[in-house]
Structure 1
Amino acid sequence: PARRARRGVQAALRRMIDRFDPAAIEEELKSNSAIGNLLSGGRNAKLWELYQKRHRDIAQSAESSFLGEIGADFRDAYEEE
């Protein structure tokens, strides 16, 4: 059980970190905004806005349920063991 819990926590943490991967955020920006790609001066601002939104969404999810998405990731990884 302890080993299973540790793996669940590790997997949940890894998935959370992956959500904040700069390459993933850039890719999301590319797919969401063709005009954002044309305006390179606004690129950093758009990336920052996307990062802030992602952080806010995860924080709100954690407020509304036990650890929000992190808890769901933990449960999924724990059940895979």
Structure 2
Amino acid sequence: MFPQQGMSAGLLRQAIYTTARLGDATLPASQRRNYRNACNAFYRIITDGVLALWKGPGPTGLRVMAWNTRMHASYHQSVEYFVII
């Protein structure tokens, strides 16, 4: 068995969730970026400079590490529990 089962589903969910958030209207109208879609957002960020892709990775990285640690720990505990039964 592969320990990464479910990773593809998690990545797909994250990709859909992230692209759906591009149209989020929480910013004031003067600060909105008005991306048409994910490809347009990627292109416009690249034109600002390649380093713009890494703007703000610290908070995102911490969130992802905490989420993955919790998911892997609960997954392995549940596998151990159900293998014993």
TM-score, normalised relative to structure 2 = 0.37
The structure with the greater share of residues assigned to helix is: 1
The structure having more radius of gyration, on CA atoms, is 2
Give TM-score scaled by structure 1 length.
0.38
